[in-house]
Structure formats: C-alpha cells, structure tokens
Amino acid sequence: MKKFAVLLVLSLFPLSVIFASTEQARKDYQFQFDIYRSKFTEFQVAKNEYAKFKTLTAQATALDKTKSMMAQRDQLLHSYLTLLAEKLAEDQGLGTSTKQLYITLIQNELIFLERHAQLIPSIGSLEDADRVSGELESHYKVLSVSIRQILIGLSVGQLSILGSMFDSAVRDAQTIVALYGGSFTPEKQQTINRWILQINNKRSFFQQKLDTIMSVNTQLEAADLDDLETKFNAMQQTVAEARQYLAEGASFMIELKNALKYAQ
Amino acid sequence: MTETTPPSPQILPQVETTPEIESTSALAPMPVKPRKNILIIIIVVVVIVLLILLAASVKTTTSEPSGSTARTSSTPTPTGVAVSTRALTTFATESAFLKFETTAEGLPKLISGAVLQDPTILPPVLDLPLGF
C-alpha cells in the first residue's frame, strides 16, 4: 500500500526525486521552505524598489523575482503535499477507503500545482503575474481544506491504533474473567463487573468522539481561511478529548488489573 | 723631666663581663601573657562552632511539622501498589494474567505519549497576494 501510494502520487511528476522515506520528504520540504523564504525576501525587496523608483530596470527585476518566487511557492506546496503522502503511506490506523480518499485529494492538488507551475514561465508582465498568482489565491482555500482534512485524518489514524491496543487489553481481561470467574466471591465479581462497565463506557465515549471527528472532517467547509482555522482547531480539541477518554479507561484498566490480581 | 706614673685609683673600674648564653636544650617556660591569649582564642573558636551547630539543629527541628517523626514522600501512593501482605489470586501468576498485567500497565503511558498531531507537518504559511 505504501509503495502504491507513493508511486501513484509521484507518477504525475516524472522529473521528481523519489523519496525513500518520510524523513527524506521532511528534509526536502524544509529545504524548499528555506529557498522559498529567501526568494520571497528578494521578491519583496524588488517589489519595494520598483514601487519607489518606477524605472524599467526596477520593473524588470521585480518581474524576474516575482516569477522566481511564484515558481518556488508551487515547488514548496508540492514538496509539502509529497510529505503528507508519505505520512499517509506509513499510517497504520486508517482504513483503506479513507486513506484512498486522502490520496485522491493530494493527487488533485498536485495536478493543480503542476498546471499552475506551467503558467509561470510565460508570464511577461507584472499584470500577468498578478493574474496567474490570483489563480492560486482563489484555489488556496480548497487546497487548505484538503490539507487540514488529511492532518485530522492522520490524528484519527493514531487514535485508532491506540483504540486497538485498548481493545486488545479489554479482550485479555475478559478472557481471564471467563477462565477464572468461577473462583470469585460475589463481592469480587461485583467489583470486577463495575470496573468493566466503567471501562466499556469510556471506550464508547472515545468512539463517539472519533465518529464525530470523522463526520465533521469529511464534510469540512469554510467561508474563509480564518473560519477554516477555527474549525480545524475545534477538531483538534475533539481529538484531545477522545484521547482523554481513552486515558481514563486505561486508568480503570489498572484498577481492574488490581482487582483481578489480589484476593481481597 | 721624669715621667711619673699616676697613683692607682682607690676604686677599680668595673670590667664589663659578657653575659653567658643559656643552653637551648632546656627551654625556659613561655611567658604567661602570649600563652593566655592563644588559649582565649581557642576557647572562642570552639564556642562559635558549638553555637553554629546548635543553631543548625534548632532550625532542622522547627522546620519539621509537629508530631512527624520521619520524612514522608509527597507523592500519593497509588492504589494497588503491591503490598507484601495482600494475598494474590490463584491465577495471578498465570501467563494469561501476566500478559494482561503487562498490557494494562503500559497502556496509560502509551496513550499519553502518543503524538497525535505531528508539529513538523503543519502546512506552510504563505503570503499570497503579490501586492503590485
């Protein structure tokens, strides 16, 4: 699945470097970000000089730096989406269909960026640059929504892994109760039943939170980037609440363990 | 002219004799005053040291809560800490239970330590409008 995901994404960019691992993708993203910051600074300087002097030379320099920055901006976003693809490929908690959905989102965005990057070399004036940049600006909200859906999805994947470990421990406890429950006194049986009930309640609350996150995430929309950030933060808060339920259930598991371990 | 010797005086001049140097093998006792000073200094130093020790022990006694006889740990004792007097169930040493025990004890740390939101993969913040 990992190889399929990476090859599917990278097959659209035959000149792209093949990343061996998430770590390599992360380093490349950071590298591209460093170059972007440098080119953005040069663009700002050239833009300010043109605004100040309004000479043809300043205009030509501003145009050159603008094109360079725009190309690097697309490359930066491309490297970031590739990093997300790698993270998705290594995730073990998400279902296949959910993962495929996110890979499709990344594919769509990479197609857009590739098409947008091809427009940049033909930019001949600052007006052209404004127009081409405007295409990215108008698409940026859609891109940002996709990115945040994937980030929340990765968090849900991690929660699912923790939930599986939790369930495994519960099954072990139930096996012990089934095997040795005959030797329990009525009081002990009552205590054990109460702990198991508490544990199952916490597990249910955890699952409810998980389902809420996935439901909201699948239908994620936003009026603007600020609204998107607010909704993203709210979902991150729900992720934290889900983890808290699981943590409480785990503490009850310790109590159950002690109730099973000691005769009194 | 003949020389005449003067008459011998009645009182012969006293001839100064050099004082004898005493032998160092038998030291004469020290003068009383310097020995007394050193003794006083020693006594003062000893008294000061004793006072410091006394002050330290008083401070230690007053900082402990009344009635306490020993330092107690500030961390609460979690329930279920193995106390040697608690009897184990018959299956507490069975492999099935030991497996569950290991999993249950490791779960809280796993859950709290899991990285749910990797901070290194947050999206880049970009200034989009060119501003021309």
CA of A146 to nearest chain B CA: how many angstroms apart?
11
- Cβ neighbors of A141 (< 8 A, separation 6 or more) are A222, A224, A225, A228
Radius of gyration of chain B (CA): 48
Q: How confident is the model at residue B66 (pLDDT cuts 50, 70, 90)?
A: very low
The tokens of B98 are what? 């030991």
What percent helix, strand, coil does chain A show, rounded to 5? 90, 0, 10
Interchain proximity B128–A154, CB inside 8 Å: no
Q: What is the pLDDT of residue B85?
A: 75
C-alpha–C-alpha distance, residues B39 and B35, integer Å: 6
CA of B51 to nearest chain A CA: how many angstroms apart?
53
Q: Is the pLDDT of residue B1 over 50?
A: no
- This complex has an ipTM of 0.82
E strand or H helix that includes residue A113? helix A96-119
Within a 10 A sphere around the Cβ of B82, how many other Cβ atoms? 10
Phi-psi bin for B80: left (phi > 0), alpha (psi -120 to 50), beta? left
Residue B99 with chain A: CB contacts under 8 Å: 172
C-alpha–C-alpha distance, residues B50 and B57, integer Å: 11
C-alpha–C-alpha distance, residues A105 and A84, integer Å: 11
Interchain proximity B87–A263, CB inside 8 Å: yes
Q: What is the pLDDT of residue A3?
A: 43
Q: Is the pLDDT of residue B61 over 70?
A: no
Phi-psi bin for A26: left (phi > 0), alpha (psi -120 to 50), beta? alpha
Q: What is the pLDDT of residue B74?
A: 53
Q: What is the pLDDT of residue B37?
A: 87
How far apart, in Å, are the Cα atoms of A64 and each of A34, A41, A77, A157? 19, 13, 20, 44
Q: What is the pLDDT of residue A122?
A: 97
C-beta separation of A62 from A50 below 8 A: yes
- Is A142 within 8 Å of chain B by CB? no
- Cβ neighbors of B34 (< 8 A, separation 6 or more) are none
- Cβ neighbors of A121 (< 8 A, separation 6 or more) are A67
- Cβ neighbors of B122 (< 8 A, separation 6 or more) are A151
C-alpha–C-alpha distance, residues B110 and A252, integer Å: 15
E strand or H helix that includes residue A239? helix A225-261
pTM: 0.73
* Phi (first) and psi of residue A138, to 5 degrees: -75, -25
Residue A251 with chain B: CB contacts under 8 Å: 108
CA of A15 to nearest chain B CA: how many angstroms apart?
23
Closest by Cα among A73, A191, A166, A169 to B130: A73
- The shortest CB-CB distance from A183 to any of B90, B99, B115 is to B90
Residue A165 with chain B: CB contacts under 8 Å: 103, 107, 110
Residue A260 with chain B: CB contacts under 8 Å: 89, 91-92, 97, 100
Residue that the structure tokens 């663009």 belong to: A43
Q: What is the pLDDT of residue B11?
A: 53
The tokens of B123 are what? 């999206």
How far apart, in Å, are the Cα atoms of A197 and each of A202, A204, A251? 9, 10, 13
* B94-125 pLDDT tens trace: 999 999 999 999 999 999 999 999 999 999 99
Q: Is the pLDDT of residue B23 over 70?
A: no
- The shortest CB-CB distance from A169 to any of B91, B103, B120 is to B103
Q: What is the pLDDT of residue B32?
A: 53
- Cβ neighbors of A126 (< 8 A, separation 6 or more) are A59, A62, A63, A66, B130, B132
Closest by Cα among A74, A82, A81, A68 to A117: A74
Within a 10 A sphere around the Cβ of A16, how many other Cβ atoms? 15
What percent helix, strand, coil does chain B show, rounded to 5? 40, 0, 60
| Three-state DSSP state, A154 | helix
C-alpha–C-alpha distance, residues A246 and B108, integer Å: 9
Q: Is the pLDDT of residue B25 over 70?
A: no
Helix axes A56-90, A2-10, angle to 10 degrees: 160
What is the pLDDT tens value at each position of chain A, 264 positions in all?
A: 544 455 555 544 433 443 468 999 999 999 999 999 999 999 999 999 999 999 999 999 999 999 999 999 999 999 999 999 999 999 999 999 999 999 999 999 999 999 999 999 999 999 999 999 999 999 999 999 999 999 999 999 999 999 999 999 999 999 999 999 888 999 999 999 999 999 999 999 999 999 999 999 999 999 999 999 999 999 999 999 999 999 999 999 999 999 999 987
The whole-number average pLDDT for the span B86-90 is: 89
CA A212-A216-A222 angle, 5° bins: 155
Residue that the structure tokens 């033909």 belong to: A122
Interchain proximity B89–A260, CB inside 8 Å: yes
CA B85-B86-B87 angle, 5° bins: 115
Q: Is the pLDDT of residue B31 over 60?
A: no
What is the distance in angstroms between the CA of the first residue and the CA of the last residue of chain B?
A: 144
